[in-house]
Amino acid sequence: MQYKILIVDDDLVIIEAARRILQDEYKVASAISGETAFQILDQMTPDLILLDINMPDMDGFEVLAQLKKRKDTKGIPVIFLTGVQGPETETRALEAGAEDFVSKPFTASVLKRRIMHCIQIRSYQKYLETMVSAQTEAIINREKQVGMIQEEMIKAMANIIESRDGSTGGHVKRTSKYVELLVNVLRKEGYAPMELTEYYAEMLCRAAYMHDVGKINVDDEILRKPGRFTPEEYQKMKSHAAKGGDIIRKTMSEIDDQGYVSIAADVATHHHERWDGTGYPAGLSGGQIPLGARIMALADVFDALTSVRCYKKGMTEDEAFSLMEKEAGKQFDPELIAIMMANKNVFSEQLHEFMREWENSGSRTEEEQRKEMIS
């Protein structure tokens, strides 16, 4: 491979002298001013630039400064061609980012040796940079893969738990969708824009399906129990919230985005807190409850009320809305409830879509299912 050298000098005699010395070993291009040099640099990328310091209009220092500003030229090594300026100029040249300097008039052997030296150093640098970036990319990909595997495992766990708890199926999917709809209407209404950022919204939607992952720790008999819980059973059932947060924190410790893990853990831990402070596990109240958990609570309850469970029939959406509205300031954040109530149609439409999906997947019609849900 033949390296390319660009000579920039306003003195044609110097350009010709350098060209004669270099043309057998290198591809040589030349420019008689800084402006011409940049026109050439738009067409080609040399492996090294020989740059005169004293030029009219744009001097060598100015050319070098502009080279360092451009992404495509900042890595090209530059050797200054110096006249009689003395050590101060040479020091300034090196400080400005030149690799080396050669005094004019130059001899062939010195010029060749300096050029070869610079090009070798630059190729080693390039090689190292390529190696480092390949290694870094490999590490990032591995970390991403580990993170994705962990997330997929938690998803799988959520689905297994859902199949154990006697619900009609799809609770995880439906609540996640309701969270997404809530987030959309809240953002549309301009609710807490500093907290409910695009990032938070996206992470919350991803985190929603893990909210009940702590139920892995609760026995089947309790999960499926149709009647009332004994106090011990209720304690055990309640433990799923804190346990869920622990599981997420421990199993997702390798995930790069710990902001996401924190949102997911908050949602799992606190989705049964109540606005009035009588919920569990921490008895947090009002704004102490993380926003994601307050949103999750609405989605969770709306789905629980409108779907059929082993121990109950489903409500109509109007019944569910009216019950939830009465809980504003008690179980739920009153501001969130108000926004949800102002957008009831969004949730009704989604509920009906879920019913149609259910109908398409089985033999029951929407009407039959509705009858079952409300009878």
Minimal distance in Å, beta carbon 252 to Fe ion?
18
| Beta carbons of 154 and 248 less than 8 angstroms apart | yes
Nearer to Fe ion by Cβ, of 212 and 303: the residue is 212
Is the previous residue joined to 281 through a cis bond, with omega within 30 degrees of 0? yes
What minimum distance in Å lies between the beta carbon of 272 and Fe ion?
6
The yes or no reply on residue 212 touching Fe ion (CB under 5 A) is: yes
Q: Which range binds Fe ion by CB under 5 A, 92-100, 109-117, 211-219, 247-255?
A: 211-219
CB of 296 to Fe ion, least distance (A): 9
Q: How far is the CB of 212 from Fe ion (least distance, A)?
A: 4
C-alpha torsion angle, residues 316, 320, 323, 327 (rounded to 10): 180
The DSSP output letter for 214 is G
Interaction between residue 162 and Fe ion (CB under 5 A)? no
> Interface with Fe ion includes 165 (CB under 5 A)?
no
- SS3 for 225? coil
- For residue 118, what are its two tokens? 């610079």
3-state DSSP call for residue 4? strand
Q: Is the distance from CB of 208 to CB of 173 less than 8 angstroms?
A: no
Closer CB to Fe ion, residue 117 or residue 249?
A: 249
Please identify, among the stretches 98-106, 204-212, 340-348, 367-375, the one whose residues bind Fe ion according to the rule CB under 5 A: 204-212
Strands laid side by side in the 78-82 sheet: 27-31, 4-8, 48-52, 78-82, 100-103
Smaller CB separation from Fe ion, 151 or 162: 162
User: Which is closer to Fe ion, CB of 15 or CB of 172?
Assistant: 172
Distance (Å, whole) CA 97 – CA 51: 12
CA distance 176 to 350: 12
Nearer to Fe ion, 51 or 299 (CB): 299
How many residues belong to the chain? 375
Burial of 85 (0-12, 13-18, 19+ CB in 10 A): middle
Scan residues 72-131 and list those touching Fe ion (CB under 5 A). Answer: none
Q: Which among 101-109, 212-220, 275-283, 339-347 is the span making contact with Fe ion, rule CB under 5 A?
A: 212-220
Q: Nearer to Fe ion by C-beta: 9 or 212? A: 212
Minimum CB separation of residue 374 from Fe ion in Å reads 24
For binding to Fe ion (CB under 5 A), which residues are involved?
212
